[in-house]
Amino acid sequence: MKRAVCLISGGMDSFVSAAIAKKQGYEIYGLTVRYGQRNKKEIASAIKVAKFLDVKRHIITDVDLSWTRSALTDRSLKIPKRVRRGEIPATYVPARNTVLVSIALSLAETVDADAIFIGVNAVDFSNYPDCKPEYIKRFQKLIDIATKKTSGGGKIKIHTPLLLMSKTRIVKKGLSLGLNFSITWSCYRNGKKPCGRCPSCILRAKAFALAGLKDR
């Protein structure tokens, strides 16, 4: 059976991305990375997502990036209320996806997986440099020679099935795959309920509204 490492954050996008991998017949190795996020709800959701997808193995690992001074890791910084077009928001974590994909690569080689699935999306948060098609392309070129497996002729391919999808299309895709989005967590804050006001909550609400659906 072909194997894939799927990055699972606890949010909607990585849930859909991993579900697509499963649909494509991959045996799933879920990977959740705690990088010092303020938000602990994400990890609890990631565990639920991994269970929902009945993954072969779910690895939760730590990399301490708490010194990065991002609004996602540093409590002294405010989560921005809105993000202007063309601007990279304070929630940007320096080199986060580069670190995440590197760890996924390490796991992929360890379990002899051919694929890494990551739910990056260049449409709604198009300002993040590490969510763009050219970024993924260059990472693939690095991977092609970076490991024992790939330098010996084996393949480890990064899959980004959501890269060019709108958030609305992602919601619809997930529902068509029978996913229960109520187990995911999108809010940047750590409250009992989603705040409904941060950029991530607003984006999620908009996506459900445009899809003509109700978010439980």
Contacting residues toward its own copies, per CB under 8 A: 59, 61-65, 67-69, 88, 92-99, 101-103, 105-107, 109-110, 129-130, 132, 134-135, 138-139, 141-142, 145-148, 150-151
Distance of closest approach, residue 142 Cβ to its own copies, in angstroms? 4
Distance of closest approach, residue 60 Cβ to its own copies, in angstroms? 9
Which residue number, 79 or 156, has a Cβ lying nearer to its own copies?
156
Distance of closest approach, residue 74 Cβ to its own copies, in angstroms? 10
Do residues 157 and 116 touch, judged by C-beta distance below 8 A?
A: yes
The SS3 assignment for 103 reads: helix
Which residue number, 127 or 213, has a Cβ lying nearer to its own copies?
127
Number of Cα atoms under 13 Å in the Cβ half of residue 43: 12
Which residue number, 105 or 118, has a Cβ lying nearer to its own copies?
105
Distance of closest approach, residue 24 Cβ to its own copies, in angstroms? 23
The CA-atom distances, in angstroms, between 67 and each of 15, 58, 70, 93 are 28, 26, 8, 10
The SS3 assignment for 75 reads: coil
Distance of closest approach, residue 214 Cβ to its own copies, in angstroms? 36
Residue 18's CB is within 10 A of a number of other CB atoms, namely 29
Do residues 4 and 27 touch, judged by C-beta distance below 8 A?
A: yes
Which residue number, 111 or 175, has a Cβ lying nearer to its own copies?
111
User: To the nearest 10°, the Cα dihedral for 196, 201, 207, 210?
Assistant: 20
| DSSP result, 133-149 | HHHHHHHHHHHHHHSHH
Distance of closest approach, residue 33 Cβ to its own copies, in angstroms? 9
Which residue number, 70 or 168, has a Cβ lying nearer to its own copies?
70
Which residue number, 4 or 107, has a Cβ lying nearer to its own copies?
107
